[in-house]
Amino acid sequence: MEPVECRAVIRFLYLKGRTPQETFDEMKETYGDNAPSYDLVKRWHREFKHGRKSVETAPRPGRTPPFAIDEASVQIAQDVKISTGSVETIIHDHLHVHKVSARWIPRLLTPFQKREGIECSRMNLEMCQEDESKFFKRLITQDKTWVHHYDPETKAQSMQWKHLNSPPPKKLARSCSQSSGTRTE
């Protein structure tokens, strides 16, 4: 049973005037082992009694969850008959696995390309120190800029599970749909 669905049923029965015990009994009869605990039913009855209208989880100020509940967590919780919070605690605190977004990088450079970039930068710095005005005049008129347009996947789409000791994932931004060369003068 999804958490939002569970809270919606509790709210419905609360509005019909059921007590927490009656709500729990009815949900236990209908959902069997997938029914929420009595403590959870009691807690949500109290929330609705104090004026809460939404069944959605409210964000907690100043605190971000270690990772979002996803379908895998819900499926595991249903299979082993424990709460999704317990599944997340086990995955996060005991297995040290986190869900992270891949870091977008424009291109992966080879060691040779990295050395060439450093050497080119070193030569430009020396030329700039010799005659700054001449350097910038030459650099700007000889620069060629390539602008790439691409639609990357969203941050949520790029999320992957990562163990505490494994390096963060990287994604190469290579799905260019257009590119245009322009000369800057």
In the three-class reduction of DSSP (H, G, I as helix; E, B as strand; rest coil), residue 93 is classed as helix
Residue 170 has pLDDT above 90, yes or no: no
User: What are the residues whose beta carbons fall under 8 Å from the beta carbon of 158, sequence distance 6 or more?
Assistant: 101, 102, 104, 152, 169, 171
Q: Can you say how many angstroms the Cα of residue 98 is from the centroid of all Cα atoms in its chain?
A: 10
Residue 39 or 103, more confident: 39
For the entire predicted model, the pTM comes to 0.35
Q: Which domains, and CATH codes, for the chain?
A: 1-58 (1.10.10), 103-176 (no CATH)
- Residues 120 and 110: their CA atoms lie apart, in Å, by 15
**pLDDT one-digit tens code per residue, 117-132:** 888 889 888 888 888 8
Per the CB < 8 A criterion, the answer to whether 108 and 172 are in contact is yes
Residue 180 has pLDDT above 60, yes or no: no
Greatest Cα-to-Cα distance within the chain, rounded to the nearest angstrom: 86
Residue 32 has pLDDT above 80, yes or no: yes
User: What are the residues whose beta carbons fall under 8 Å from the beta carbon of 171, sequence distance 6 or more?
Assistant: 102, 103, 104, 105, 152, 158
**pLDDT one-digit tens code per residue, 50-78:** 888 888 876 655 544 544 556 777 788 88
Per the CB < 8 A criterion, the answer to whether 77 and 83 are in contact is yes
Strands 159-163 and 97-101, sheet pairing: antiparallel
User: What are the residues whose beta carbons fall under 8 Å from the beta carbon of 163, sequence distance 6 or more?
Assistant: 95, 96, 97
Residue 161 has pLDDT above 70, yes or no: yes
- Look at the chain and count its residues: 185
Top mean pLDDT of 76-90, 93-107, 162-176 is at: 76-90
